[in-house]
Structure 1
Amino acid sequence: MSKLILLFGGLLIACLSLSANAAPLNPLLAPLSALTAKDIAIIANDADPMSLQIADYYQHRRGVPADQMIHIRFNPKTKVLSRLEFAVQKKRVDEKTPAHVQAFVLSWMQPYRVDCMSITTAFATGFDEAFCAKGCELTRKSPYFNSISSLPFRDYGLRPTMMLAGNSFEDVKALIDRGIAADFSQPKGSAYLLKTADKARSSRAVFFPKIAEGFKGVWPVFYMEKEFIKGQDDVMFYFTGLTQVPYINENRYPPGAIADHLTSAGGVLSGSKQMNILDWLKAGATASYGAVVEPCNFPPKFPHPGVLMANYLRGSSLIEAYWKSVGMPGQGVFVGEPLARPFAYPSK
């Protein structure tokens, strides 16, 4: 752990800013604390039986207090909420949310968008058109990006949000169980950063060589110029850029693993011609991230692996590490088990 903390004082941090004007991680900080069940609220859709089933299972498995269970109602077949409908639902949620809650968990697969925003950013910040873009434009930056905050609502007035989503209850149940199995497990594994032949979708690969160099002696990070990995049994992190990532089911992902692919519609959970991020979860990952509307290939709109791993390996929960890694999260959705904390230590 001491090596890990010292790592953040060197060259790696210089490449983590990602032009987001955020303060870098302090290299002298002790291992991070992680958000727990007392810090989250679960939001369920009473018109969606599977949403209620997911919320109930997650509450009991994680021990979320009853007053942090929030119920709203809307058509579960809706893929994209209008901003007006969202305003009604968000007002209800805000009225019911205890002041100490720092993050939200959504227990459904649809809707995954609010107008031009991802639903996870909409619940985190409220609807804000500045997080949207008409064409290839940059959007509002997240103040939480690469921050040292452990209480995002207190510090920034936002509650990072993640969806517990899957094609069936059994898929989501398996996801939840993986996240819980990850806690305090201190897993061994590797990170795979792939620069593919798809130049447009490898835009963030410009950071990959320095990330791999910066983590030497701390965590195995493999920078590769290839289309895929296959038959690897230690895939804790997998970041690539393709419309379809082959052979993901032929790797093994330890509980708590994170994987995503930079593409235009990976977060369209109702399905598109591109690979869906739910495929990563089905393959064994514990979280993924994908765009819900065309974001163009600006690296700040997608997870920065260096920031993500720096936070996760120091003990952050999955939702904290993932959210801190995206400079402009307005057009992308976070899906996974938010409280997984494989690199944390039990409190004494």
Structure 2
Amino acid sequence: MRILPSALALLLAASGVQAQGAMPGLQPAQLALVINDDEPNSVEIGELYRVARGIPERNVVHVRIPNRPRKLDSEQFARLKQEIDAKLGPDVEAVLMVWTAPYAVECNGITAAYTLGFDPDQCAKPCGPGHQSAFFNAGPAVRPSERQLRLSMLLPTESVDQARALIERGKAAGFRTPAAGAYFLVTSEAARNSRAQFFPPSGAVPQRKLTIHTLREDAIEGKRDVMFYQTGKARVDKLDTLRFLPGALADHLTSFGGDLLGEGQMSSLRWLEAGATASYGTVSEPCNFWQKFPNPNLLLRHYLNGASAIETYWRSVAWPAQGVFIGDPLAAPYRR
């Protein structure tokens, strides 16, 4: 496997940043947990995460959202956000909502609505361009608070056992740097290949023990080293044959991956169930603007440079209004 000049340049740039003393990534003391006391799984999983990650008790916020609605209207969400923010200190840079639903605010993803504010313009034209996130491709030393933001993510609660396994994977990420594969697939679903222009060429990145595979395939099968997997498919096959490494990021470009409990297309939850540690999907029809999905080059660069999963995913999506980020925000397999 040849060594990638572009990937080497990427990593050299990363090393230069580290040598200059870049600020560390998101720390447990900077993360808040929001627990839905009306959902027993949220209460149990929230405590599992708090203990596993050492989240300060002062950073735990309890709310009540009865009946687990999939979608909130803008007024319901405004009240929820105000309740959360009123209980958080100025040192909190990110928020982890411990539930699966609600995951949408009208046409917005709930994580985008929380971090950037509800975007009614996007709902007026869901298939139109979005507004650029202030955290898109932010530098390694830039903290969310410097952009007047708190990043956000969901920790799904459909299964306590699956959530426990996810928490263990996220915590294990970073104990050692494994030999890993990054898989980028150009599929037969042409409309879902809009970000293929950003797929890196196949090659080796020895400094990170990473091998990049950019393939013309509808799915990969039997791979045991998956750290990155990005594709464009309404449904991704053969996930049950794969082994995802601790900290793995995986997502598919399709219209409704963020409709987490929907049945029309593959939910982004399937990635976490298969063993990934974080993912992303859109909750309403975005059309296939690449800007509404994670950019492969930026995802690689920021994760390999040691950013956490939540910082990496937020830095990689230019127009995230319709998207929802899910998984363990603190996973950081390449942090040193």
Alignment TM-score > 0.5, same fold = yes
Query: Alignment partner for residue 324 of structure 1, among 315, 325, 330?
Result: 315
Map residues 60-71 of structure 1 onto 2, 5 A cutoff: 60-71=51-62
Distance 1:130 1:215, change over 3 A: farther
Structure 1 or 2: more strand by fraction: 2
| 2:201 corresponding residue in structure 1 | 212
Would you say the 8 A contact 2:183–2:215 is kept in 1?
A: yes
Q: Percent identity?
A: 41
| 2:265 corresponding residue in structure 1 | 274
Show CA shifts across 1:36-89 (max 9, x none): 111110011111111111111111110100110011112242110111011111
Question: What is the SS of the residue equivalent to 1:239?
Answer: strand
**Distance in 1 of aligned mates of 2:221 and 2:157:** 24
| 1:29 corresponding residue in structure 2 | 17
Unpaired segments ≥5 residues, structure 2: none
**Distance in 2 of aligned mates of 1:344 and 1:4:** 21
| 1:52 corresponding residue in structure 2 | 43
Query: Alignment partner for residue 72 of structure 2, among 71, 76, 81?
Result: 81
| Alignment coverage as a number of residue pairs | 327
| 2:282 corresponding residue in structure 1 | 291
Would you say the 8 A contact 1:179–1:286 is kept in 2?
A: yes
User: Aligned AA for 1:335?
Assistant: I
**Distance in 1 of aligned mates of 2:123 and 2:84:** 22
**What's the offset of the Cα at 1:153?**
3.3
**Distance in 2 of aligned mates of 1:38 and 1:153:** 14
* 2:215 maps to 1:237: no
**Distance in 2 of aligned mates of 1:130 and 1:103:** 25
Distance 1:91 1:135, change over 3 A: closer
Distance 1:200 1:166, change over 3 A: farther
Show CA shifts across 1:264-322 (max 9, x none): 01111112221111111111111111111111000010001110111111111111111
TM-score for both structures, normalised by structure 1: 0.89
**Distance in 2 of aligned mates of 1:124 and 1:314:** 23
Map residues 195-210 of structure 1 onto 2, 5 A cutoff: 195-208=186-199
Query: Alignment partner for residue 105 of structure 1, among 96, 113, 131?
Result: 96
Question: What is the SS of the residue equivalent to 1:257?
Answer: strand
**Distance in 2 of aligned mates of 1:67 and 1:4:** 44
Question: What is the SS of the residue equivalent to 1:330?
Answer: coil
Unpaired segments ≥5 residues, structure 1: 11-24
User: Aligned AA for 1:154?
Assistant: S
Question: What is the SS of the residue equivalent to 2:310?
Answer: helix
Query: Alignment partner for residue 227 of structure 1, among 207, 213, 218?
Result: 218
Query: Alignment partner for residue 95 of structure 1, among 66, 75, 86?
Result: 86
Distance 1:189 1:26, change over 3 A: closer
Question: What is the SS of the residue equivalent to 2:198?
Answer: helix
Question: What is the SS of the residue equivalent to 1:206?
Answer: helix
Question: What is the SS of the residue equivalent to 1:223?
Answer: strand
Distance 1:270 1:325, change over 3 A: same
Question: What is the SS of the residue equivalent to 1:296?
Answer: coil
Would you say the 8 A contact 1:203–1:299 is kept in 2?
A: yes
**Distance in 1 of aligned mates of 2:295 and 2:168:** 26
Q: CA RMSD in A?
A: 2.1
Map residues 304-319 of structure 1 onto 2, 5 A cutoff: 304-319=295-310
**What's the offset of the Cα at 1:4?**
9.3
